C-alpha cells in the first residue's frame, strides 16, 4: 500500500527538524569535572585526557568564571593530594584547611552562583588508592562511612552546595544525610553515585589523581570490585538507586555513561529524583584519540554522545566535554 505517512516530511530541512526535535541540549545540562592541584599558577595537562588540566586554585577560579559565563552552572571537583598527606584513615579529607576545602571557599567567593559538588571518597587520600579504610585486607564499610560524614560536613562548612559520594559504601547516603542535618546543613544536597560500575573506563581519571589501587606492605584488594558494581548487572543498579533515594539522596548518578544508557533509562523510570550521568574519562579519551588520528570528527561525535545521554534520561551530564560543547551551543 502506498504510504500515507511519510517520516521524511518531518526531516525535510533543519527548520522542520528543529521544530519537532524531541531532545535538546543547553550548557545548563552540563557539569564540568575539575582537578585541583597544590601551588599557584599551576596548569598541567593530563596526558591521557587532552585538553583537561590539573589546575591550582587560582587558575581553577578563573576557569570557573569562564564556565559560568558560558552557561554552565555546576562543577564537580577533585583534588590531587600530596603523598605526604596520605594514610589509611583519610584524615586529610576533613582538614578544614585542606586543598578541597580551600578550593570550595575560593570558588564560592569568586562565583557564588556556581553550584559546587565536591567528591566524597577517600581514594585521593588513601595510601592504598582505595575508597575506604583498609582493615584485615578489605575496605571496612562502616568505619569508612564515619570518615565520609566528617568529610562531607567539612565540605558543607566550606560552602559546598551538594556533596557527591562516589565511594559505593553501603548505607553511606543515610549516614551523610543524618550527619549533615545534625550539623545544621539541612539545605546541602546529596548527589549520590548510586550505580557506579567497576569499569575499565576510569583509567585516565586515576592517572589524573593517582588514585588507582596500589601495591602495599599489607593485604589489600587488588581492585574495587568488592564495592563498585559488576558491569554484568542491571537489576542491581535499580535497587541501589532506590535505596539511595530512600536514604535521602537528592540526585542519583549512573557511571559510566555512553556504554550504560540502558541503565540510565531504567534508573530514570524507577526514581523520582534527577538522574545525573557521568561521561567518564575513558569515554572522553577514546573520542580525543580517534579525533587526533582523523578517524572521527570530534565535535560531531561529542554532540551526538551528549544528546544520546540526555535522550536516555539524564537530567544532568557530568562531562569533560562541557566547556567545548557549551562553546558550540552558544554559537
Q: Which residues participate in the annotated binding site for Mg(2+)?
A: 240
Q: 6 to each of 22, 185, 214, how far by Cα in Å? A: 18, 56, 59
Of 80, 108, 224, 255, the catalytic one is 255
Spatial separation of the C-alpha atoms in residues 227 and 283, rounded to whole Å: 22
Is 310 a residue of the active site? no
Is 331 a residue of the active site? no
Q: 206 to each of 35, 54, 124, 142, 282, how far by Cα in Å? A: 11, 13, 9, 25, 10
How many Cβ atoms are within 10 Å of 219's Cβ, its own excluded?
10
Spatial separation of the C-alpha atoms in residues 263 and 254, rounded to whole Å: 7
- Give the residue ranges of DSSP H helices in 159-228: 172-182, 203-209
**Burial grade of 260 (CB within 10 A; 0-12, 13-18, 19 or more):** buried
Of 196, 224, 288, 310, the catalytic one is 196
Spatial separation of the C-alpha atoms in residues 273 and 179, rounded to whole Å: 21
Apex CA 234: angle with CA 228 and CA 239, to 5°? 75
Spatial separation of the C-alpha atoms in residues 110 and 271, rounded to whole Å: 35
Apex CA 185: angle with CA 180 and CA 191, to 5°? 65
DSSP string, 78-115: EE---GGG-BSS-GGGG-TTSHHHHHHHHHHHH-TTSE
For 318, half-sphere exposure in the C-beta direction (CA atoms, 13 angstrom radius) is 30
Spatial separation of the C-alpha atoms in residues 325 and 109, rounded to whole Å: 26
**Burial grade of 85 (CB within 10 A; 0-12, 13-18, 19 or more):** middle
Report the binding-site residues. 240
Active site (catalytic) residues? 196, 255
Amino acid at each position: 500500500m502506498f504510504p500515507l505517512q511519510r517520516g521524511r516530511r518531518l526531516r525535510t530541512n533543519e527548520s522542520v527538524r528543529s521544530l519537532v526535535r524531541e531532545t535538546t541540549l543547553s550548557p545548563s545540562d552540563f557539569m564540568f569535572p575539575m582537578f585541583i592541584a597544590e601551588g599557584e599558577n599551576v596548569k598541567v595537562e593530563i596526558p591521557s585526557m587532552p585538553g583537561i588540566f590539573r589546575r591550582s586554585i587560582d587558575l581553577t577560579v578563573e576557569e570557573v568564571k569562564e564556565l559560568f559565563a558560558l552557561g554552565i552552572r555546576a562543577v564537580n571537583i577533585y583534588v590531587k593530594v600530596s603523598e605526604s598527606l596520605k594514610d589509611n584513615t583519610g584524615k586529610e579529607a576533613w582538614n578544614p584547611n585542606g586543598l578541597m576545602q580551600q578550593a570550595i571557599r575560593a570558588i564560592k567567593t569568586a562565583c557564588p552562583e556556581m553550584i559546587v559538588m565536591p567528591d566524597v571518597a577517600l581514594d585521593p587520600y588513601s595510601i592504598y588508592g582505595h575508597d575506604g579504610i583498609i582493615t584485615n585486607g578489605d575496605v571496612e564499610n562502616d568505619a569508612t562511612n564515619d570518615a565520609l560524614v566528617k568529610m562531607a560536613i567539612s565540605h558543607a562548612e566550606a560552602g559546598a552546595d551538594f556533596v557527591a559520594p562516589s565511594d559505593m559504601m553501603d548505607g553511606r547516603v543515610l549516614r551523610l544525610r543524618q550527619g549533615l542535618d545534625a550539623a545544621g546543613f539541612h539545605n546541602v544536597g546529596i548527589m549520590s553515585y548510586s550505580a557506579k560500575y567497576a569499569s575499565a573506563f576510569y583509567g585516565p581519571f586515576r592517572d589524573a589523581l593517582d588514585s588507582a589501587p596500589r601495591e602495599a606492605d599489607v593485604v589489600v584488594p587488588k581492585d574495587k570490585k568488592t564495592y563498585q558494581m559488576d558491569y554484568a548487572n542491571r537489576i542491581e543498579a535499580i535497587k541501589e538507586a532506590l535505596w539511595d533515594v530512600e536514604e535521602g539522596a537528592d540526585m542519583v548518578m549512573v557511571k559510566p555513561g555512553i556504554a550504560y544508557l540502558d541503565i540510565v533509562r531504567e534508573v530514570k523510570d524507577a526514581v523520582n529524583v534527577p538522574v545525573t550521568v557521568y561521561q567518564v574519562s575513558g569515554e572522553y579519551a577514546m573520542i580525543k584519540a580517534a579525533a587526533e588520528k582523523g578517524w572521527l570528527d570530534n565535535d560531531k561525535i561529542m554532540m551526538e554522545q551528549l544528546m544520546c545521554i540526555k535522550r536516555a534520561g539524564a537530567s544532568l551530564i557530568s562531562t569533560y566535554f562541557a566547556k567545548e560543547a557549551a562553546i558550540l551551543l552558544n554559537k
